[in-house]
Structure 1
Amino acid sequence: MKKYNVAILGATGAVGQEFLNLIEERNFPFNELKLLASHRSAGKKIQFMGKEYTVEEATHDSFENIDIALFAGGAASKTFAPSAVKAGAIVIDNSSAFRMDPEVPLVVPEVNPQAIARHKGIIANPNCSTIIMVMALKPIYDLAKIKRIVVSTYQAVSGGGKEAMAELETQVKSIVEGKPVVANILPGASLPKHYQIAFNLIPQIDVFQDNLYTKEEMKMINETHKIMEDDNIGITATTIRVPVYRSHAESINIELEKEVSLEDVKEALSKFDGVTVHDNPAEMEYPMPLMTSGKNDVYVGRIRKDYSIANALNLWVCGDQIRKGAALNALQIAEYMIEHDMVK
């Protein structure tokens, strides 16, 4: 099998580290591996598959002879993606920088792989919550078009990065030990106010827009329209940060254009690659963040009719934000391109 030179930008962060875990787990065919980060992390040593790698500071010259550049996300994407493409690399970007660019495919490989062929050097990874949602929506959409979606998310602190995860742990310890709780990260380190997340919920992820939705909520709406290639779907979202380390959960209400049986819905979900149906109310079995953390699939349960309106369903969906919601999805895009001889 042909092997490829791979660069990981943001190699020391949570998503960058997950890239490394998955490359080893999935036996990804890499030849040379270049680990890139900011000046602050340059020089750090990382042991990977029996070899020691030195993290390099990312520059515009870092992508020479690189075939696939996996960008973990952040402001560096806009800075370095054009340079990587100019050097001949295919960029698979986990930031929001290019998602709504009409020239850039926004891809979940199980949902819209046909979009990959339209790339011009950059392919965007959707928002983590969007990925988890559309994985559950696509098999249902193929049964009956979706008219409207009402989604509420319960998002783990992993979505705020390693610092948010560390702050949850510190706050829990402080509470248990009777010490003052310090909040410096959530709902966002760059925002003017911060709140305790331990034993709390924060109904804000990212900044508020003029329409009073947060940027995260609008990402879910706009990205779902683009991925599903259907702007006629009505979508409303409320995104909430919860005191869970890892794996996002979503309560999704779906109104369909026609009646579909629960049996057909469950069968379609069960047959869809990357989805596991875990739905047995009689035995109190349903997806939860603890059981889905570290897993690759998106799990769906609490599948039931919405009796308040015709042709509607309720779903409860859980998925690992760092895996399928980020690193795994990006790596699957690369795997798809390799499998279909789209990487030269």
Structure 2
Amino acid sequence: MALHSSVLLRRKHRRETARTLAFLSPWLIGFGVFFAYPLVSTVYFSFMKYDGFTAPVFTGLKNWDYVFNHYPFFWQGLRNTLWLVVVMVALRVVFGLGIGLLITKLRTGTGFFRTAFYLPYLAPPVAATMAFAFLLNPGTGPVNHLLGDLGLPQPGWFTDPSWSKPALTMLAMWGVGDLMVIFMAALLDVPKEQYEAAELDGAGPWQRFRYVTFPNISPIVMFAVVTGVIQTMQYYTQAIVAGKVASGVIGGSGQQFEPGYPHGSTWTLPQMVYSLGFQRFDTGSACVVALVLFAISMAFTSLLLRRGAGFVSNED
């Protein structure tokens, strides 16, 4: 009798396991095909000499040594990418939150301003970058003409290594509509009773934001920061288009283009992966850079999630 019961229990357990795996199978297939297999392949090819046409040949750590010690653009691209992650993400979050706060406080015209600030986010990245490059053209752009009329300095923007990354940051802040909408939804969900209680206690605007608003929206702020870091670590289109437009190389074959123009200031790790893998057919070195990019993204995300646990509100 006991043996029969144990057999029935095992069968029930197997049925439950099979049912669970059946429900999980779409995720498991997607995880294996789109994440696990590419990651394992990237690690594998990082130790191989492979051009995409001939069979891969094992070379040990030669690709890693080449990228870290001999490839001239790696460290500059790494510095540029980290600069964009730290500065661009922080300013986008602060600017998006500020715009969201202002619009939620408006009594009239909320719909108009919400639409006006969200529309730039819908602009295609290539078109938006080209428009910004022409607006910020140091010779013919209207922005520098206006600054000159006001007696202010006229930066070189995308033609000046010290101003190219701030110009890209301005472009990112112009398209901050996605964060604005997310923050507005979170801000409108803050209980009004808490604001009323804070006012009765004599709290000013800053105290109400610090002790009422921010604790309620802190999970959304963390979400914006983490997703912003991941997106910026993949920053490619705007940087390469801005460099090409500023250097005069918009299209056509046979034209020479300096990577990261001007002087490598817009050169990023994703550009490096494309250049090594699809222009030079050096798949092994491209995989090394991709793994570095993946490791930095994971490190940033883990650090933010661990540090963020201290200020994310756990109240229901």
Between Structure 1 and Structure 2, which shows a larger proportion of helix residues?
Answer: 2
Q: Which interval holds the TM-score relative to the shorter structure?
A: under 0.3
Between Structure 1 and Structure 2, which shows a larger proportion of strand residues?
Answer: 1
